[in-house]
Structure 1
Amino acid sequence: MSTTNYSFFGAVEQSFDKAAAFTKWDKGILEQIKQCNSVYQMRFPVKMDDGSIEVVEAYRVQHSQHKTPCKGGIRFSMEVNQDEVMALAALMTYKCAIVNVPFGGAKGGIKISPRKRSAYELEKITRRYTAELVKKNFIGPGIDVPAPDYGTGEREMAWIVDTYSSLRPGEIDAAGCVTGKPVSQGGVRGRREATGLGVFYGIREVCNMEDVMSKLGLTTGLEGKRVIVQGLGNVGFHSAKFFQQAGAKIVALAEYEGSIYNYDGLDVDAVFKHRVETKSILNFPGATNCEKNTDALELECDILIPAALENVINADNAPRVKTKIIGEAANGPLTPEADEIFVANGVLVVPDMFLNAGGVTVSYFEWLKNLSHVRYGRLEKRFTENMNTNILGQMEFLSGKKVKKEHRDAITHGPDEVDLVYSGLEETMITAVNEVMDCWKQNPAIPDMRTAAYVVAINKVAISYAELGIFP
């Protein structure tokens, strides 16, 4: 398949069909699950800073309403098109199903380059987009809940919730219309690093499986593993940072301006600081520059983390990739042809459809917080601390020994919001990895982990439809 004719949604359908052969469901149910339920394509005029009027192209796709609300990010990119948004919405459906988050899948996109727009222009475009969604009932805490994605962040989500609230006065749960907001606007602590942390938890769990690592010729655990990360955005940066903290070596980093490597390891924070100061990761002290940013994908390592855009590893460069494990932190970084090559070469691909589900998992926690109107930890933190202090005091009294201060602080500590978010995310990712692995082990005919993940997702969505009585 040439990259010029590449259809992202077609690739998702191809993976779906491959997995559907390993399920028992009726063809009609499978067809319903596969298709996008609603596609909203819009054009709206916006007056720019220079006085000119531009017509902006934008999308919102709701792939499935087997659970409501629908959930999915909004990306700002010149690469946005209907095919991409449909594919990402479909992946959201399957992702939410695998990690047991009760949402249907959705996705949004605005065809603009955020780097070339002023903050005021971006605000006008975001607010107008939100108004269009409200007009067609494509947003709301019980309907469709957007979130940040490529090119967007907390600022854009704050504009969305403010616009929605002004158009829906008196709606008590209005803050739940979007997630990824600043904490002051109803956001949740831990959301910013959630996707990268989820990638880390997922790969860590795979690396702790002795039978899996033995097949790959690797030792268990992350200590000393050589890791390459493509993309130093929110997801890539936090993924790299958590791997580094766990004792792995970050041997190469890639961004759109180029890539760098050092087989003795790179300091992620130092590289990030260098990039902020020089606007480039290139020429980082002690590192070697690569000719192209994609060169880093082909360097030797144990774990490769593509955390940028889709279709970066395809039939052309897959044979040159020298790694044992690929963790898809981005959405759709591998084409189906690349998948086939890696299966033949014995490379384990941990698929995007649940590995990067940290964002939607913590978005779910934020949404629940908005609906309950209570901050996590507020009700139980002090009670837990007091109880643990009393228990520790009794143990010290009975034993006649005193516990060191650092140990005392760790034992008596009551959970803050971020502690509960991290704990919930860790549980979610560990459970998801094991569900997918169990499915794969129970059916040895399944060729790879991606297909196993699709089988798990299809079964869960189909059961939801069956239990709703839609397919008697």
Structure 2
Amino acid sequence: MNQESEGKQFLNSVHHYYDQAARHTNLDSGILEQIKICNSVYKVNFPVEVDGKVVVYEGIRAQHSHHKLPTKGGIRYSMHVDEDEVIALATLMTFKCALVDVPFGGAKGGVKINPRTTPVEVLEKVTRRYASELIKKNLIGPGVDVPAPDYGTGSREMAWIADTYHTFKHGETNALGSVTGKPVGQGGIRGRTEATGLGIFYGLREALQDTEILNQLGISPGLSGKRMIVQGLGNVGYHATHFCQQEGVIIIGIAEREGGIFNKDGIDLEAAFLHRKNTGSILDFPDATNIANSLDLLAYECDILLPAALENQIDHRNAATIQAKIIAEGANGPITQEGEKILLQKGIFIIPDLYLNAGGVTVSYFEWLKNLSNVRFGRMGKRAEEASLRRIVDTIEQHTGHTISAKERQMLIHGADEVDLVRSGLEDTMILAYHEIRDVMHRNPGINDLRTAAFFDAIQKISVSYLSLGIFP
């Protein structure tokens, strides 16, 4: 199967999930069609000089929905970027933002380039030129469309885009809000790096307290002791697994591009991550069995399977072999519509990407707010909060005649700083969104899976936005 058809397959899956949820609404067909379609796609080919020669690169930016502005979505660098894939990802962003009450429309971008083999100086040229093309067309900006990192990009590329935007829009006080995922020293926010992975952890933790679901699966509450296999040890997969392991999850398998490793007694994530960093491969990790084809590892028995790599990893060809009780979609679209039918028939509980990996855009929203306000979260209140708590502790000590240790005192009087506030906001968002989805399932007997419930909830929220704008009678 070629990459173009994979992108089309991904888009078809997203539309299938949308249609499946839309059938349960009472909305006018025209409204449903407007919510479904992608509003605009911009494709550009631009030249960059590389080693004295001109190389032409292809860039895409899709803005799926303008029911709220700005639109929001990452930029991915990959040789497999194509229009259908970018539209599918932009579509997911629209519903993801609506689901977690982040006031953005959905967007996505991509450049056809291999970030692993391209020199840094060339990556910078390409990034700045791509950003320039978008800026000249007024396609990005703090009130228009706000990019973020995605597969193949990170804070470095976002800093280049922010700097390029500021060059074009010199003197604009909100210029840093033109892109999120920046380094902290350049307008970024503490907690953004691990946000998507931490959001996955919060979502999984909440699902593992849902006794109704757990009774159906025959597993006990809580993350501790659960066996997990993760696919993809990039930013999302690493951080999600890191927080899960801290909570007592046993990581028994790690799948990567070069293969996978397995140990039924558990794998030390930090040691495996360091091993791959030092050797360039996850293979040959001490006390673990090599798995030549990493996709084979997805079929191993476990409590939780976390696909955190790319889309279309579980389809009609391998879905029947999956033995996990819970699939937590860390990546966007890792399960095809044909694959999902088989998994649901097997009684596997799927926590959908639409909800589970929304941590990234949630914290991106916090960063955007920070940039617009031009002040660090916690800056004005942290010391005042600590002073108040200190007075309370002092008063209790005086009245009881007992003193506490310096460590205990510091823990009790600690005022919330930026990362504390960011993580608190993210945790609250993920908890509330999970219970909203479950409420949809309880109110609608015909909706029997979380993905359909999530799309249904998002569609209802978006429709309210359209109707309130007076676009429809």
Matched letter for residue 400 of structure 1: G
Query: Using the alignment, how far apart are the partners of 1:410 and 1:471 within structure 2?
Result: 54
Residue in 1 that maps onto 2:112: 111
| Structure 1 runs not aligned, ≥5 long | none
From 32, 35, 38, the equivalent of 2:34 is 32
CA contact (8 A) 1:309 1:333 kept: yes
How do 1:131-210 and structure 2 match up within 5 A? 131-210=132-211
For 1:57-456, what aligned pairs fall within 5 Å after superposition? 57-456=58-457
* Superposition misfits of 4+ residues, deviation over 4 angstroms: 1-4
In 2 relative to 1, CA 183–286 (structure 1 residues): closer, same or farther, beyond 3 Å? same
Whole-Å Cα distance in 2 between the matches of residues 435 and 239 of structure 1? Answer: 22
| Deviation digits for residues 83-142 of structure 1 (CA, Å, limit 9, x no counterpart) | 000000000000000000000000000011011110000000000000000111110000
2-structure distance, mates of 1:311, 1:85: 14
Q: What TM-score, normalized to structure 1?
A: 0.98
Shift of 1:437: 1.0
Tell me how far apart the structure 2 counterparts of residues 225 and 185 of structure 1 sit (CA, whole Å): 39
AA aligned opposite 1:395 = I
Distance 1:5 1:123 in 2: 30
Residue 4 of structure 1: how far off its partner (Å): 7.5
Aligned equivalent of 1:15: 17
Deviation at 1:405, TM superposition (A): 2.7
Aligned-partner residue type, residue 332 of structure 1: G
Q: Distance in 2 between matches of 1:51 and 1:269?
A: 42
Which has the higher mean CA deviation after the structures are superposed, 70-79 or 50-59?
A: 50-59
In 2, distance between residues paired with 1:123 and 1:140? 19
Change (3 A) 1:303 1:374: same
Q: Measure the CA separation in 1 of the matches of 2:453 and 2:340.
A: 13
Deviation sequence 1:189-221 (CA, Å, 0-9, x none): 010000000001001100011111111100000
Give the drift of 1:407.
Answer: 2.2
Work out the CA distance in 1 between the residues paired with 2:5 and 2:61: 23
8 Å CA contact 1:258–1:290 kept in 2: the answer is: yes
User: For residues 161 and 3 of structure 2, what CA distance do their matches in structure 1 show?
Assistant: 34
Shift of 1:288: 0.4
String of CA shifts for 1:24-67, please: whole Å, max 9, x gaps. Answer: 1100000000001110011111111x222111011000000111
SS of 1:298's equivalent?
Answer: coil
How far residue 2 of structure 1 moved from its aligned partner, in angstroms, is 10
Deviation at 1:408, TM superposition (A): 1.5
Look up the SS of the partner of 1:147 in the other structure. strand
Q: How far has the Cα of 1:337 moved from its partner?
A: 0.7
3-state DSSP of counterpart to 1:269: helix
By how many angstroms is 1:443 displaced? 1.2
Q: What amino acid does structure 1 have at the position aligned with 2:117?
A: K
Distance 1:191 1:388 in 2: 28
Secondary structure at the aligned position of 2:425 is classed as: helix
Equivalent-residue separation in structure 2 for 1:403 and 1:119 (angstroms): 52
Gapped regions of structure 2 (runs ≥ 5): none
Q: Kindly provide the CA deviation profile for residues 397-436 of structure 1, in whole angstroms up to 9, marking residues without a partner as x.
A: 1111112333221110001111111110000000111101
Q: Residue 146 of structure 1 aligns to a residue in which SS?
A: strand
Whether the 8 Å contact between 2:193 and 2:235 is mirrored in structure 1 is yes
CA distance, structure 2, for counterparts of residue 227 and residue 451 of structure 1: 25
Q: Tell me the distance in 2 between the aligned counterparts of 1:52 and 1:304.
A: 46
Q: Counterparts of 2:317 and 2:448 in 1: how far apart (Å)?
A: 21
Match of 1:43 among 41, 45, 53: 45
Question: Using the alignment, how far apart are the partners of 2:464 and 2:26 within structure 1?
Answer: 11
Letter in 1 for 2:101: N
8 Å contact from structure 1 (residues 343, 447) kept in 2 = no
Provide the C-alpha distance between the structure 1 equivalents of 2:220 and 2:448, rounded to a whole number of angstroms: 23
Q: Is the 8 A contact 2:4 2:82 kept in 1?
A: no
Contact persistence 1:73–1:107 (CA under 8 A): yes
CA distance in 1, matches of 2:458, 2:45: 34
Name the CA distance, whole Å, in 1 between partners of 2:426 and 2:39.
29
% identical equivalent positions: 57
Aligned residue type for 1:285: P
* Corresponding residue pairs, total: 471
Q: Distance in 1 between matches of 2:187 and 2:147?
A: 14
Give the conservation status (yes or no) of the 8 Å contact 2:3–2:80.
no
SS at match of 1:107: strand
Give the Cα–Cα distance (whole angstroms) in 1 for the partners of residues 385 and 455 of structure 2. Answer: 40
* Deviations 1:298-317, CA, capped at 9 Å, x for gaps: 11100000000000000000
Secondary structure of 2:350 counterpart:
strand
Q: Any idea what SS the aligned residue of 1:115 has?
A: coil
Which segment drifts farther, 156-165 or 209-218? 209-218
Paired residues of 1:95 and 1:354 also in contact (CA < 8 A): yes
Change in 2 beyond 3 A, CA 1:2/1:162: closer
Take 2:297 and 2:394, find their aligned partners in 1: how far apart are those partners? 54
Between the aligned partners of 1:278 and 1:170, the Cα distance in structure 2 is: 46
Q: Could you say what secondary structure the match of 1:91 adopts?
A: helix
Distance in structure 2 (CA, Å) of the matches to 1:260 and 1:408: 44
What is the CA deviation profile of residues 222-245 of structure 1, one whole-angstrom value per residue up to 9, with x for unaligned ones? 010001110000000001101100
Quick one: which amino acid aligns to residue 456 of structure 1? Answer: D
**How far apart are the structure 2 equivalents of 1:317 and 1:238?**
26
Partner SS state of residue 59, structure 1: strand
Letter in 2 for 1:325: I
